[in-house]
Amino acid sequence: MIRLRPVTEADVPVLDRQHSSPEDGGELSWYGFRQPGSMARRLAANETITNDRGTLAVVDDDGNVVGDVSWIRSFNGPPPNGDCWNVGIWLVPEHRGKGYGTEAQRQVAAYLLDNTFLERIEAGTETGNIAEQKALEKAGFTREGVLRRACFRGGQWRDMVVFSKLRGEP
């Protein structure tokens, strides 16, 4: 259905769409215009995957890039003892609602648990982002609770739902 692979230069125009307009970025994940070319610069610097963060392209059965998944080292206790990964996802609008978000988040969690020794994969989303909450639950993440007014978007502070998947969970 979909697979993950390293980002290439050819993917950049598609992946840059997430910062180009609210419609492309997603109604509930638009935080304003970003400096263009950040992915191109990371590629040029050979830094799409480092020890502390990474991005992989999401590719469909026809080889089309349909979005990306990313992760960043986060912590809930004194580093490095409290380290975990926090993951995020963006899909192009025309490929949403096909199950790709569920599968891509299942695959990125498996990838990180297979290739790094951290125990906990976290994901957060606004309480209003029902598609992402359903996708995370279907991908085997557990809803843990709500962080109140944790993220500013669209002129107001928003409550965020925290999900996690731990090593060994299906």
Ligand X SMILES: CC(C)(COP(=O)(O)OP(=O)(O)OC[C@H]1O[C@@H](n2cnc3c(N)ncnc32)[C@H](O)[C@@H]1OP(=O)(O)O)[C@@H](O)C(=O)NCCC(=O)NCCS
Nearer to ligand X, 113 or 139 (CB): 139
List binders of ligand X among 96-155 (CB under 6 A). Answer: 96-102, 125, 129-132, 134-135, 138
Q: Closest by alpha carbon to 96, among 62, 130, 53, 122?
A: 130
Q: Closest by alpha carbon to 101, among 93, 109, 92, 91?
A: 91
User: Cα–Cα distance between 93 and 90 in angstroms, integer?
Assistant: 9
Among 90, 107, 113, 141, binds ligand X (CB under 6 A): 90
In the complex, least distance from residue 91 CB atom to ligand X, rounded to whole angstroms = 4
In the complex, least distance from residue 19 CB atom to ligand X, rounded to whole angstroms = 12
- What the block records as the tokens of 154 is 């669209």
In the complex, least distance from residue 80 CB atom to ligand X, rounded to whole angstroms = 25
CA trace torsion 128, 134, 140, 145 (10° rounding) = 30
List binders of ligand X among 38-77 (CB under 6 A). Answer: none
Q: How many residues bind ligand X (CB under 6 A)?
A: 22
